[in-house]
Chain A
Amino acid sequence: MSAIDWAVLFVYLIGIVALGYWVGRNNRKIDDFFLAGREMPWWAVGLSVMATQISAITFISTTAQAYTDGMRFLVVYFALPFAMVILCVTLVPFFYRAQVFTAYEYLERRFDLKTRTLTSLCFLLQRGMAVGVTLYAPSIVLASILGLSETTTIFMMAGGTILYVLKGGNRSVIWTDVVQMGIIWFGIFLCLFIAIWNLPDTFSFRDALGLAQANGRLNTISLDTSLETPYTLWAGLIGGLFLMLSYFGCDQSQVQRYLSGSSLKESRLSLLFNAFLKVPMQFLILLTGALVFVFFHFEKPPALFNPVAEARLRQIAPAELGPAEDRYTAAFEARKTKAVAFAEARRQGGEGDGPALVAAQAEFNAARTGVVDVYKKATGDAGYGDNNYIFLTYILNELPKGAVGLVIAVIFAAAMSTLSGEFNSLATASMIDFVRRFRAPGSGSDSGDLMLSRAFTAFWGGFAVLIAMQAGRLGSAIEVVNRFGSYFYGSILGVFMLAILTKRANGTGASLGLFIGMAVVGTVATTTKVHFLWWNVVGAVTVFVVGYLISLATPTKQAAA
């Protein structure tokens, strides 16, 4: 990156930490620290909800998804607006009227202490490990692309975030999220504009869409009914609905955002704000990825998008790389020729030779796979993959000076906005569901609680850094925990469904149902090829049915007269 890009990045980092520190300077009680005094306007909370949801890796992997596979990933978000309406009618009024700090606190009031403790513990375990991955995944990509060490990028992202969340809690999280979301939106439009601007003069925007379409990069909706096919319309609408209901309704990192609204109306409006904007935003991000795919028809992309891997391969296996690279270059030139002919034919009133484009793309993919195979063989790294490097490679090589720094700042903003919400929610669950719940009545003071809440924020921030720095070595353990998180999402939704949809359900049914639900999802995940979006349906339905049946078979305490 140039000096001006580094300057832009550092202005962002210093500015966001200063803003977070300044807005959070007046916290006196944990109501301020965890719920921003319950006085946030809907638009700020709405942007914060959006910012917490979009992480750095979502940003860079979504564009890569469009580049390599098309826009089918968009269906995951189709059910989000429906989920928001359902939540506004059901869970949000419950949480708001109960004046809870955490979603799990509500479960104690509805069921019992063990249900609250169990679900909160599951959240801490799953989210605590996941936040390490949220930090690690973009850190490793940015380190490689920017020529920094992983430790440096980890500290650049987490260090600043911990500083302002420690000082200002949720108020700092929300106001910095507002700015970060503004930067992210600006970055999305900038990337889209530059992706169109960078097309060759002889290639119109419509030609670009035609080329992307011919290669399946505009494919969005698949009506395939197989449960194993990824991202079908049905998986998006049904599985995605359960996923979104669980994430926005039962995950403390989101619930805490909208509990900060100054009224029930503000909390609801913040979610509905997302309902209107989320799908168009994801569409624009995916479209950018599809246009980057078109752009690389005219500018040769590196065979390996990870520059460190490419340099290593040149060093250790130059002889094997030579022929594979020659084939790759020839395939690129052939594909470029077909693309130019495609546009020329369209200019003359034809439709362009789509099948020839597809054949050229297939040869190009095979040639790139050849180079990747050489790398895998030479290094023994059978799991090598570089999709997450595609978008950043494009940014660094094709954007003008200044814009590069800004888009890298966008990636940092996406990471920091997610991390801040997660640090704050982990500290909240630790403090409210465990410390305040189990200590002797009457003990503790506002200042002591505030100090302890900050200590928990520092603990979870440090824990995330530790996990991120050890992630390379923890590999399989992290995968296990993330898998556990996938089992948990639908299942916890089942517990909340039992809470609000039935009168007969009790704590024993909910707790046992949660265990059984996760076990069933685990079995489905490990023994079948059912796509992960359906796991949420399996988990929620299992917990609801099993929990209800157990509740029928176990005594429920009678209401006091």
Chain B
Amino acid sequence: MTNLLKTRFRSCLLTTGLLATGAVAMSAMVQAQPAPGGGTLRTMINSDLRSTDPGVNRDLNSDAITMHMLEGLVAYRENLTVGPMLAQKVDLSADGTTYTFTLRDGVTFHNGKTLTSDDVLFAWKRYLDPATQWRCLSEFDGKGAAKVLDMQAPDPKTFVIKIERPSALFLGQLARIDCGGSAIYHRDSIGADGKWATPIGTGPYQWGEWRRGQSVELTRFPGYTSLEGKPDGLTGGKIAMAEKLRFIVIPESASAKAALYSGAIDVRPDFASRDLDEVKGRADIKTSTHPTMETNGILFQVNEPIVKDVRIRRAISMAINREELIDTVTFGLTKPVNSMVPLASPFSGPVQKAAWKRDIPGARKLLAEAGYKGEPIKMIVTKRFMSLFDGAVFVQSMAKEAGINIELEVLEWAAQLDLYSKGTYQSMFFSFSARLDAALSFEMITGPKAIQTRKVWNDPAAQALISEAMIVSDVAKRQALFDQLHMKFMDELPMIPLWNSVDIAAWRSNVTGYTTWAASMPRLWNVSIR
């Protein structure tokens, strides 16, 4: 399990000038240049906060809110490599099993207490306690990326984790946003009853007021100790420019749009691509876009009738005019992706990028060979993700031209997810959240169906290739493995990848400093409002 993330890890040490052998203490006390202002920056969430317990009872909205209050030892950078956050450096022992985190000086919690390794140990003990129900526990208890054997706090500035075997995925898992970034919080965050109470973290904003069903408000933490330099992903210099952040619950995207236009909110993350055209002419709305590693496409359950014939799956793929479809659905924001490897991945090479052409006669020929006579093929889709729904409507229409009878079944998200988990459907339009390594991208669809019903690619040979790609660290060798996987994948086609999502945000012209990025998580520090 030494691979890309290891390289990333090394590069993180290099770029901060903190090599494992001779670390130089660095001052983290420097206040970054722009001065914090006043005002309330209002943005939206599409459902209420679930809880502020990091990586436990959470969803994307909860992650977005807690990330402004809580920070972990390491965090994702803008380019999705892992960089130090609360740790000023991370040393890895020669045998690759002992991580030594040296904490930054002068970091204080929202309650004024200074961060020590004891706090780190406390938080980590709670994470690894099964009773906490941390979503990422399986990555650290030996089932997934690593097995933690021991944790220690030998002195107030040092925290040591010992794992069973070297694992290149370790730091990457630590930074995972859905895991709450393994955030370090003060023990007073836990109430007297042993349950999570209020988040007391080290972030630029602190807990304010929660009006359930309406809004969550965070206020500036005046004692925030920022890292030096520019903001960089979820790490780097952070300044709470706006005095308050308000996350308003707006479940309907049409209402959210109206709210932005009328000035009821200032920033609308997750803006719909279909609305971009319409705001181009408006002086009061600004937008920005950035490609992400989220993969959208059509999943097939290859045991189900009709779609079990690979010729049918290929015919569907050949019926799609990818360029036109993706150009329309994403409003020209991105190109088709033909592989499980996202376009933004360094492993998206010539093999993965080879263009697929629309071929209606070819599709008809395949259909004839397969003896297809217009039997309906059910395709599940949800209206929750509009570009996905748009894509499905166009795919249905394109497939019709090749004589393929796709019946769309629009379900609400929970019902679709249920079918996804159970693996009981013919085909569905689905969106996979970003996996930050190509091996993980393949892993999310591959596996033994008998045990993991949600998997669609039940191929031991592919499984072996993926496992190998997780171990090999040589870039060229990995590329060769991914090329091989891609060809095999194309051959069997358990999924038709179509495009990688684009992070789109829109904000009112009195807002400055908002940026979109590959992890598409809204960041409201360093964003000011006039």
User: Do the two shown chains form a genuine complex with each other?
Assistant: no
Q: Which positions in A face B, CB cutoff 8 Å?
A: none
